[in-house]
Structure 1
Amino acid sequence: MLGWEFPPHITGGLGTACQGLVRGLTEAGGIDIAFVMPQLRGGERQRGVSFLCARSLAGDAPGRAAGSDPERRRLDDFFAGFVPPDVAAAFHEDDEDALWMAAPGVDGRLSGAYQGMSIADALAYADSAPHLLAAAQPFDVVHAHDWLTFLLAARVKQASNRPLVVHVHSVEPDRAGNSRNGNIGAIERFGMYMADRIIAVSEYTRQVLVREYRIAPGKIEVVHNGVEKIENAALPAQRDIFRVSFIGRITHQKGPAYFLHAAKKILDRQDDVRFVMAGTGDLLPVAKALANKLGISRQIDFPGFLDPPGVKALLAASSVYVMPSVSEPFGIGALEAAQSGVPVVLSRNSGVAEVMRDAICVDPADTDAIADAVLRTRNNPALAEMTARAAKDAVAELEWKVAARKIKTIYRNFLN
């Protein structure tokens, strides 16, 4: 299994999802997992799982300097080892569209959801394939999570002749909107082309793949994410401060500006509400500046990135959780809020809305609707409790072992 991060060192939901899936798969029995990452930072542990560090396996092999060559050329050279030139060109089919001309940051580093990473990092990860294959025990399936692993996955598949499952937790149209990076899109197309099976985290994501990347619908299987159970969570009536929380990367995709504009409208009507925007990201300085401009900086806290205990503590102190994402493939944070007994206000552009049908859903750009929804839960405690209970009931069956059983069936189909 090829990943990019794993608890306790994570930047978002990808690492959390990987941990839940491998735990569910190992508990199901009959599966041994070697989880590969570019580097191990210490503390990565999961019963029944061996962790492999690609950087250590590759030893002192030279990496690829970010920005040393045009990324398009380097990717085309990579694709040429797998497909004819006309197919490789199709992976870049949107390059002439202005939507796909967003430039990376300094030294080729990306902004947004993958701030600090680069195409060069993904290529260097792929270069570890020979060392990984030499060190790994015999295996039956390659399972790769998101675009940063797809180049390595293709090399491992090619060398081992094993089936490839790519697990799509998000794609560039979700993350970047009208500022997409065309090279990331090309890697995503390539990975899904090379895959024998694609797992999408929601029907919403499946439709994005069909619409944006023209993937054959029959190649995609939907497996919803799960959530860890939280016992004896308090209901909103037990919280003595009305606190509205946003938890996630502070990037375009997550809609932080919508949250702040809604906060301003709430405070214009009821000035004793508190807000928390927890997370880091390229738009954090912009969010702080906007809060100051709107005159709400004294009513909102920016605690930065929260580890799992920090998230649990914040949810325990929250009266409402708001997820105003522009486009959200799933939304594990909403499940965690529901498990904590917190009413949720969801973007209708989300996968999690498929499983939380009684949640309050809004157009994320409609900040009046967000403000109205939040204040309804405050002014009507019975509604808040009913909403919280309905959300908690809806996610009660969404355990990682359920997702694991579906994935195990996909594996078996290959082996049979």
Structure 2
Amino acid sequence: MHTWKSRPPPARPARSTSPPGHWRRPEAHWLNSPPGATSRTRPPSPQPTRLPARQGEHRRRRPDLRRRRVSRRARSTVESDAMALSVTQGFDLFLKQLTPRAGEREAKARHRSSVQASLRTASFGVLWFRETGSFTHGTGVRGHCDVDLLVSIKAVRPGSSETALEWVKSALKSSFPYTEVVIRRPTVQVRFASGAETWEVLPGFVTYRGGATSVYDIPGASRGWMDSAPTAHLDYVNEVNERRAVTGGAKALARLTKAWKYYNNVPVSSFYLEMRAAQHIAGEPSFVPVWDICRLLEKLDGHQLADMNDPVGKAGRFAACSSEATRREALSKLSTAATRARKALDAYQKEDHATAFTYLDLLFAHRFPSRWQS
């Protein structure tokens, strides 16, 4: 019988031979597996557990944070390298951007022969064709230029202008059955390429009221007939535009007013705006865009888009809108435009170019160039 003093000491655990801090593999469960067990039947060794990330740590990179830092640096670099434009320079750049490209003219003109052939075979007969409108006058706006074609009809003028429009629509629809052909007074529109290449065909009946100048009866903007002298009107615009004091001013101002119309969806006649612009420049000693766009818009707002007398005295009065409803809509947008143009001009006179650019950008529906150019 052993006493407590004679009992053997308990066995001490085997000392690890691994260096300090080294991870020791836990005892494998298969050490107690029965004899004959192979590595294929042994259970997998447990893997070390990955501790969760501490608060504030990111397991992966944050590229969004890096982009944010880079964008701040890039913005500061651009502002330091950019050049501030004056209001005059801003208008120069804007007018260049409004000028149609040569390819745009070529794309729209590719259908000329087929349109003319379609009308020549019609039963009403054709005397001649004449291109009119902004492309011919040099007052078109990039992306908003349609080809206007005046067709002089040989047949006797019908009592209703609607009948003449239906004649032209039927002839074009028979030649282009898969193309949209619609009446949009005072013209018939042929919308090639889903409207990207639109032709506007205007039926006209030549009269002898203008003497040596060809005067036509054409459909009115809303109903009935009206006089048109396209060659005389083009000569008038060119004559005003070539005045030495305002060289290029008439067509530039017409292009600016048309840009305001297109960018703000104002239902007003482009021809009316063009003739009003030429009439305004004809009485001015010089052309300064920020001044003249403001004064013209204020004039139009002041007389509430009243009908205009023909400045060459060859035709009747020009209407601004096709109906009273469209006139009310146009007047509402015109009032806003005149206010913005006046605020831009006031800022320009105070040499506050930043404010002037802000109101000009609003005037042209955020299409006016930025003041800062790299």
Give TM-score scaled by structure 2 length: 0.25
Q: Which has the larger Rg?
A: 2
Higher RCO (CA < 8 A, seq sep 6+): 1
